[in-house]
Structure 1
């Protein structure tokens, strides 16, 4: 297996913020010894407010820039909004596995007992044609509620930076679902949302099943890397890139170290 070779596979996780850590932690459990890079494009956060063209161009630019410094063996687009539009373009430019993150609509529809499910995602994700097609294909027998929220992503972002979760603001975002007593399944269609899953559960006690993509993505990454020969490289420390200067709070630095990252680097991208 590749984990027994001297050269570790380098995997890049890409998101506009820190939501991708919810996916990264699942992959790291299966591949604990891989070389991990994480880029949060905080200069463009949140992607849900950007056009498809901007997201595609930005994602390609950032991934190319990092690949120049660290030869990549796989890229995980740990962002639902970006994944709905950027995967074909990235696969045209990279001859390595490109793994996206999409809402778990199929398993939610299969698991739901009441056939009343909710898709909790960003504004950009809920309006994508790709997501509509998934619902039409896999959830025809379900009532699918949708909430598109930028606020929840911001709450999750602040939580990882060491701030307390604003439960009132969170509850306000979820208000349309609070009285839906037969809503038994919720799809966490943004990688930020698993970071505040416990707080979401407090607001929606009637929901029995929550669906997030991390486990499935981890298995996919493991399978795709099983047969490759990792590229040679000079640096093997796990590293985080960011695209805009910000104040590095102690709690945030401690959290990053907890996740296994020692180095933080500003990635200079020409606007």
Structure 2
């Protein structure tokens, strides 16, 4: 059993990659909807909450591995989670290294949240793996909201979403004519990748999902993955179930929302 944690629906992009490599693994997905978006929260408060939530989940579910499918949560709580949990914990970082290797022009972009593009760990990734490249950064929370909206609707108006993406990204991309590779540095952004590829087919959009799935497969190599898979979803707060989730998942996996009374301890906290 694999537990995947994120502030919202973005980590489902990681879950899809894991499912493609481990088709029979049981996936449990926990989204902290009550505190979404994480970008407006205090770091110290977030770190404590992330650790508490993941500990509660691991106490109540027979979890073999935890994936922190959120860049913000990974940078804030990965070390603390590894210190308190007796299972492997996999985090997410922007795919700077593969982007630098893929780019032919030597000019790559980093599209992430404002916090991620400015964090010291991001600077370290660029220094270590992309020092030979020109790296243009754009921090945005608008695309996080767009991804949530995309999965909140059973049949979203694609033209409307494409227009909003153009409004958000065209001014930035217009000033970067040599840019040929863009890192989707937030796990929400791959949800919108099909639209991005239609709008800007000349750009290679790259994320960490496949690399995370390979890492999970490696760590669980010796463990049994029998069963029928399944995607079990949990959320804090009282928000609506994303109406477009089954459309996004697509592969026929059963999706269900179990009764998760163990979350009530943190649901009582005011976001």
The TM-score normalised by the length of structure 2 is: 0.87
Listed as ranges, the matches of 1:11-50 within 5 Å are 11-50=2-41
Does 1:216 pair with 2:223? no
Give the Å deviation of 1:53.
Answer: 1.3
Does 1:244 pair with 2:265? no
Give the Å deviation of 1:20.
Answer: 0.6
Listed as ranges, the matches of 1:70-81 within 5 Å are 70-81=61-72
Q: What are the ranges of 5 or more consecutive residues in structure 2 without an aligned counterpart? A: none
> Would you say the 8 A contact 2:25–2:230 is kept in 1?
no
- For residue 176 of structure 2, what is the aligned residue in structure 1? 180
CA deviation profile, 1:17-59 (whole Å, cap 9, x unmatched): 1011111011111111112100111111111222321221111
- Counterpart Cα distance in 2 of 1:177 and 1:95: 44
Does 1:263 pair with 2:257? yes
Listed as ranges, the matches of 1:59-70 within 5 Å are 59-70=50-61
The count of aligned residue pairs is 256
- Indicate how the Cα distance of structure 1 residues 173 and 68 shifts in structure 2: closer, same or farther if over 3 A, else same: same
Listed as ranges, the matches of 1:163-178 within 5 Å are 163-165=156-158, 166-174=161-169, 175-178=171-174
- For residue 199 of structure 1, what is the aligned residue in structure 2? 195
> Would you say the 8 A contact 1:119–1:144 is kept in 2?
yes
Q: What are the ranges of 5 or more consecutive residues in structure 1 without an aligned counterpart? A: 1-9, 231-235
CA deviation profile, 1:220-239 (whole Å, cap 9, x unmatched): 00110123579xxxxx9642
The TM-score normalised by the length of structure 1 is: 0.87
Listed as ranges, the matches of 1:47-62 within 5 Å are 47-62=38-53
- Indicate how the Cα distance of structure 1 residues 201 and 238 shifts in structure 2: closer, same or farther if over 3 A, else same: closer
- Indicate how the Cα distance of structure 1 residues 249 and 154 shifts in structure 2: closer, same or farther if over 3 A, else same: closer
Does 1:87 pair with 2:82? no
CA deviation profile, 1:101-140 (whole Å, cap 9, x unmatched): 1101011111111111100011121121111111111111
> Would you say the 8 A contact 2:231–2:253 is kept in 1?
no
- For residue 5 of structure 1, what is the aligned residue in structure 2? none
- Counterpart Cα distance in 2 of 1:22 and 1:243: 19
CA deviation profile, 1:131-188 (whole Å, cap 9, x unmatched): 1111111111111111111110110111111143533332222121134221000001
